[in-house]
Each structure stands twice: as structure tokens, then as C-alpha cells.
Amino acid sequence: MRCLMVEEANHLQNNLAAEKIRRGGDLRVEAEERRTNLRLRDEQDAAYRASLEAD
């Protein structure tokens, strides 16, 4: 019985570790998407300002 509980605890710990790794990867992707969106918005704002000045 005790051996089964230890195995189950190890399995849960492994699942939690895998989930943390997966979420960490997701967080990195989300951070990269935010940086890309900010860069695009800055470029669009600059183009808009330039078009206003040209008018």
C-alpha cells in the first residue's frame, strides 16, 4: 500500500513538473507575442504620425 502511495506521489510530482515546464514555454511565447505587438503598434504609430505631417 505504501509503495503505491509513493508511486502515485511521484507520478503527481512528475505531472506537476511537466505542467510547469509547459506553462513556462507558454509564458515565453506570450511574452514574445506582446513584444511583437508593441513593436508593430509603435511602427504603425510612427507611420501614422508621418502621414499626418505629410498632409
Going residue by residue through the chain (55 aa), what tens digit of pLDDT does each one get? 556 677 877 777 777 778 777 777 777 778 888 899 898 889 899 999 999 999 8
Task: Give the residue ranges of DSSP H helices in 1-55.
Answer: 2-54
At 11, the amino acid letter reads H
- Model pTM score: 0.54
Task: Look at residue 3 in the predicted model and tell me its pLDDT.
Answer: 63
d(C-alpha 55, C-alpha 10), whole Å: 67
Task: Look at residue 2 in the predicted model and tell me its pLDDT.
Answer: 58
Is 10 exposed, middle or buried, given 0-12, 13-18 or 19+ CB atoms closer than 10 A?
A: exposed
